[in-house]
Structure 1
């Protein structure tokens, strides 16, 4: 079953990619708010969780995060990472930059070894405030699931006038200070096949990886329930073959 996060601070959970991760949800706790509507989202379809469109207030985030970090540190189990994720796209929050500043201050005070990560679909990186904030965190993780607009529309259902070309140009402005994350999957959606591991897809995606030159690429496949029930997980061996092609470009590429 897909499900929402009903708290501002959630976890900690053992992340395949990040270690012991304490989650921060800036989005509504009773509904989903995202500029994508991914066919694989563990939170389900946007339309299934309409609810109130209320962002969690900056001060409430700061107070709750501070309390949990103090408790975890006192217990001798500080998190490896503080991860902004939750019920949608965290960079939509109007106070995103200020919340990142608060979080970095708390991290430095209470658990200086923890890294701050943001999982983002990259739809807001045209905003100066979002870009500044992402440049301050330890792991600026930006999504690009395909080199083709048509595939992105089918996999991610972006709102508005999303364009791969524009997104890539904006990613290049980070000058490598970002991690690229790509979900690989196969199956069908509305009776039509989908597979972004096809050679045409991988070749075009690799060209964009080389153009963006991120510090790292993370490739992964399905691990949790998905709202679209006709998707298949990509075998680890196939992900490793794709990762090897990324590493041949001189870019580290762990497989989750």
Structure 2
């Protein structure tokens, strides 16, 4: 299968349907993915059998590369709207993640004060105080919850760490609403198992999670790029809007991204 791996520590800016002009940050190796999930829809492909943690970029190198890039972009039409941590896996797995966030805030304030800092995370490291505190410092802490039930989340995200859905929702409540939830809705099949997080039961339970977490924004979206599991269906924008409507009627902000 074809997968998208980011070969640079800092890349872009690229046009993001959710974040505008996005300067990407990849804290994972350029040669492979490191993630605590192995999502069936991940554009970076499946997790490799062996993790190459020795290839993680050092914080000193990150600081130098980011500063050079922000200096280059400052005052130009390509000055970023967002400095976005995503890349080849889960950014919070980097051992210096908290310090890297502090470095990013300082450099952003110097060279791109209008840019927001965004982290796309699966939330599996939020039990660590230093990670929770670092994520709490930024403007866009965008955290994944891809279903209403544990079984569906397990089937879609395939966590390779301990994952307790009830504890996870409780942890997200600790942000006191200062977070963004992202959910990918899909239907399909994986390893002979039917997967569907758009059923009435799934959406009802997912909605209850959102009501408990009370995020300032929820982003729901359909698959956009090639996926490692081929037997997946892209959900239409109309269906996403139908999923969003009950939450909107309760006063929640829900953005839909699809076609």
Task: Identify whether the pair has TM-score above 0.5, normalized to the shorter chain.
Answer: yes
- Corresponding residue for residue 228 of structure 1: 229
Shift, 1:205, TM fit: 0.4
Tell me the equivalent position of 1:41: 42
Deviation of 1:75 after TM superposition, in Å, equals: 3.2
Deviations 1:1-29 (A, max 9, x none): 21211110112111111101010011111
Structure-1 residue corresponding to 2:134: 133
The alpha-carbon distance between structure 1 residues 163 and 51, as it changes in their structure 2 partners (threshold 3 A), is closer
1:99 aligns with 100
Determine if contact 1:146/1:152 at 8 Å carries over to the other structure. yes
1:1-256 pair list within 5 angstroms: 1-47=2-48, 50=50, 52-53=52-53, 54-256=55-257
Question: Structure 2, unaligned stretches of length 5 or more?
Answer: none
Q: 1:67–1:124: structure 2 CA closer, same or farther, 3 Å change rule?
A: same
Secondary structure at the aligned position of 2:74 is classed as: helix
Structure 2: distance between partners of 1:105 and 1:51? 31
Q: In structure 2, what is the Cα distance between the partners aligned to 1:198 and 1:233?
A: 15
CA distance in 2, matches of 1:148, 1:32: 26
Q: TM-score, normalised by structure 1?
A: 0.97
Preserved contact between residue 83 and residue 119 of structure 1 (Cα < 8 Å): yes
Stretches of structure 1 that go unaligned for 5 or more consecutive residues are none
Shift of 1:51: 6.0
Whether the 8 Å contact between 1:23 and 1:84 is mirrored in structure 2 is yes
Q: Displacement of 1:192 after TM fit?
A: 2.0
**CA RMSD across the alignment:** 1.1
In structure 1, distance between residues paired with 2:60 and 2:253: 37
1:180 is paired with a residue whose SS is: strand
| TM-score (normalised: structure 2) | 0.96
Instruction: Give 4+ residue runs of structure 1 displaced > 3 Å after superposition.
Output: none
- SS of the residue aligned with 2:254? coil
Cα-to-partner distance string for 1:67-107 (whole Å, 9 max, x where unaligned)? 11111115342000000000100011111111001001111
Tell whether the 8 Å contact from 1:126 to 1:170 is kept in structure 2 after alignment. yes
